[in-house]
Structure 1
Amino acid sequence: MKEITISTKIKVYESAKELPVEYQNLLESARAARNLAYAPYSNFRVGAAALLDNGAVVQGANLENAAYSMCICAERTALGNAAMQHPGAAVRAIAVTVQSDKKAIAQPASPCGACRQVISETEDRQKKNMIVILQGSEGEVYWLDSGKALLPIGFHGGFL
């Protein structure tokens, strides 16, 4: 038997104010997108903003549906919007922030499995890593140098 150890490095900032200004602005754009979320069932709002290599910022928000499996996540909305609105532009970074109407969320929320897969495949497609920035409704900010850190043994096109 062989054993494999996988580790993830996350930089933890006490607040968004510690980030470089460009990424503070990206996180602020994600907060603005979060305010556009449609979350009448969970009251859990997610906003995402993608910074592209051409300087554009593209937003996405979660859109719930009474048939829960039909819900659309903010991360996938932002990445899909980026691909459609700016074909060929690489995503340099994605910022994601969450808010609950029921309670304050001080801990950064990690993307769901489907979003992790889409982030990973976006990196594969563009042949460049993207920075992932995560924050709750306030408090600490997590910084990952690559989306692959969220899904270290992900599925990829090479399997097909």
Structure 2
Amino acid sequence: MAKRISKEVSLTQYQVNELDQETITLIEAAKKAALNAYSPYSNFQVGAALLLDNGETILGNNQENACYPAGLCAERVAFFSAKSRLPDAQILKVAIVAKPKGQEQFKMATPCGSCRQVMSEYENNQEQSIKVYLTATDGSILESDSIDNFLPFKFSNKDLFS
């Protein structure tokens, strides 16, 4: 007999003035990172900013390449940079922003599947949730209390050895 399996996913929507200063600063850092993206092919600038448990902020932006698969998304640039520089630091929050080059307004852009898997791996390994903040097209901010909300039936290292 078939059995339905489901998992609830939820995000919380805030206006910027409802967020704490630490989170606002993180989102602003992601916006500055996006402006430095190397995106000559898509003209879509993405920035990511991580807040670590030691108070440090790590930035990333998308880095494109004429050989398209050789580029790297902002989220992975930031996550890989954080762990290569500070392998013992815990990632507390990530802010992700995106906008078309030449436009002022940031738009909603959720992480791609590869980024979701990478971020999930780091969250799983540190055994502590990572909060995710996305800018919505209307200027509001969406908050997730875990990367699990973006990849609810994820594959992890626990699946390799069970």
TM-score, with structure 1 as normaliser: 0.93
Q: CA deviation at 1:82?
A: 0.6
Which one is further off, 98-107 or 50-59?
A: 98-107
Contact 2:98 2:106 in 1 (8 A): no
Aligned residues: 159
* Alignment match, 2:9: 8
Segments of 5+ residues of structure 2 without an aligned counterpart are: none
Please identify runs of 4+ aligned residues in structure 1 that moved more than 4 A: 102-107
Identity %: 39
* CA distance in structure 1 between the aligned counterparts of 2:107 and 2:41, rounded to whole angstroms: 22
1:51 matched to 2:36: no
Residues 2 and 104 (structure 1), Cα distance of their counterparts in 2 relative to 1, 3 Å cut: farther
Residues 138 and 68 (structure 1), Cα distance of their counterparts in 2 relative to 1, 3 Å cut: farther
Q: CA deviation at 1:39?
A: 0.3
Q: CA deviation at 1:24?
A: 0.1
Residues 63 and 96 (structure 1), Cα distance of their counterparts in 2 relative to 1, 3 Å cut: same
Question: Superposed, which structure 2 residues align to 1:1-160 within 5 Å?
Answer: 1-14=2-15, 16-101=16-101, 107-136=107-136, 139-160=139-160
Alignment root-mean-square deviation, CA: 1.6
Contact 1:110 1:134 in 2 (8 A): yes
Q: Which amino acid aligns with 1:4?
A: I
